Amino acid sequence: MQVQQRPQGSYYADRIARVIFLLCAILLVMVIVSIFVFVGTNAFKLFAEGGNLRDFFFNTNWDPTGSGGAINPSYGAGGLILGSVVITLLSVLIATPLAFGMALFFNEVSPVWFSRLLKPLIEIFTGVPSVVIGFFGLIVIVPLLQNLVGNIVGNHQTAGYGWGAATLVLVIMILPTITSISIDALNTVPGSVREASLALGSTPWQMMTRTILPAATTGLATAVVLGMARAIGETLAVSMVLNGHTIPSFNQSPFNIFFQPNVNITQFIAIDFGEAYGAGRDAYFTLAFVLLAISFLFVCISRYLGSRSVYK
């Protein structure tokens, strides 16, 4: 009796498919490596063309084209970096307690009908285009702040734009992100931990604050870190409500600084990169590289936290 051989063709198809799939997976690695290489090489060109590392981080005079070639260009990105850091930290500070509260509510308190409403709502809101949130900021948040603080700040035309509005816009954007990752983090805590806590006589509130939250610490920290990563790179929504071209003078009350047009890294890339050329153009790649480095740092932190978590 003759044994039916498996046709050679299907064997080769299997080999070829495997190689193609591998190449596609490796393409992903190549993309991220080439982002670092291409943006990085252009970024460091700036320091060969007259830029200076100390000025870049600590000087606040950002004028990479030298006012259209009239004066020597200046690459002080201190003000832009400060703007990004301030609005990112503030928005995370406001959004985090709300997001943790939402996650606790969703996992521990919420009745079923409310969870069924909340889950799609959070998912839908995560996907709202950033331009649309920016537009909402422009037509609702900025006028609102203008009415609230316009009289204190003075300068009614432009009051309301700035760090304050940008922070609120970012809160709206990162709240669903942090919430949904926090919900996943709380979900990883096994039910036996809850039962143990309740069996010892805890009230639900004690169970949540003293058992669930500490047990999910690393996952919650990951949520905050990823929220920060989203906040620091957010461009158009923030750019629309910052609406500034220079960092405001610091010889005024800190309150006023928050409610007048201001700048950050992403806003300057969005509005000025198109007209930049030569060394000025490379200066924007240096800004982009700063963002890239910060978000890479955030990924590393979140991975480190993930590797340390007890419950997966």
Partner 1 sequence: MSVQGLQEAGMEHDVHLQEMKRVVRRIEIANGFGTALLWTIAAIVTILFVGIIVYLILKGAVYLFNPGFYGTESYGVGSEIFNTFYILIFAEAISLPIALAAAIYLIEYAKQGVLVSIIHFAAETLATVPSIVLGLFGILIFSITFHMGTSRIAGALTLLCLNLPLALRLFEDALASVPVEIREGGLALGSTKWRTIRTLVIPSALPGIVTAVILTAGKIMGEAAALLFTMGLTNPANVFTPDPYIASDTLTTHLYYIAGPGAGASGLTHSQETIVTAGSAALLMLLLLIINIAARTLGRFIQKRVTAA
Binders of partner 1 among 241-270, rule CB under 8 A? Answer: 266, 269-270
Decide if residue 92 touches partner 1 (CB under 8 A): no
Beta pairing partners, 161: 159
Q: With the C-alpha atoms ordered 58, 70, 276, 246, is the resulting torsion angle positive or negative?
A: positive
Q: How far is the CB of 34 from partner 1 (least distance, A)?
A: 7
Question: Which of 73-81, 145-153, 213-221, 295-303 is the region at the interface with partner 1 (rule: CB under 8 A)?
Answer: 295-303
CB atoms within 10 A of CB 68: 9
Q: What are phi and psi of 49, to 5 degrees?
A: -105, 20
Residue with tokens 């009350």, as numbered in its chain: 253
Closest CB 217 distance from partner 1, rounded Å? 19
CB of 183 to partner 1, least distance (A): 12
- Cα gap 283→289, rounded to integer Å: 10
Q: In angstroms, rounded to a whole number, what is the distance separating the alpha carbons of residues 239 and 236? A: 5
- Comparison of 47 and 136: residue with beta carbon closer to partner 1: 136
Using CB under 8 A as the binding rule, whether residue 291 contacts partner 1 is answered as yes
- Selected from 93, 109, 196, 200, the binder of partner 1 by CB under 8 A is 109
Distance CA 102, CA 208 (A): 13
* CA 253-255-257 angle, 5° bins: 80
Site for partner 1 in 187-226 (CB under 8 A): 203-206, 208-209, 226
Q: How far is the CB of 248 from partner 1 (least distance, A)?
A: 20
The distance in angstroms from the start CA to the end CA of the chain is 54
| Number of shown-chain residues binding partner 1 (CB under 8 A) | 92
Candidates 163, 302, 283; CA nearest to 230 is 302
Q: Is 136 in the site for partner 1 (CB under 8 A)?
A: yes
Can you tell me which of 130, 177, 182, 218 binds partner 1, judged by CB under 8 A? 130
Residues 22-51 that bind partner 1 (CB under 8 A): 22, 24-29, 31-35, 38-39, 42
The residue with tokens 């939402």 is: 102
Least distance from partner 1 to the Cβ atom of residue 80, Å: 13
Q: CB-hemisphere CA count at 13 Å for 160?
A: 18
Of 140, 196, 200, 310, which one interacts with partner 1 (CB under 8 A)?
140
Q: Does the footprint of partner 1 cover residue 104 (CB under 8 A)?
A: yes
Of residues 67 and 203, the one with the C-beta less far from partner 1: 203
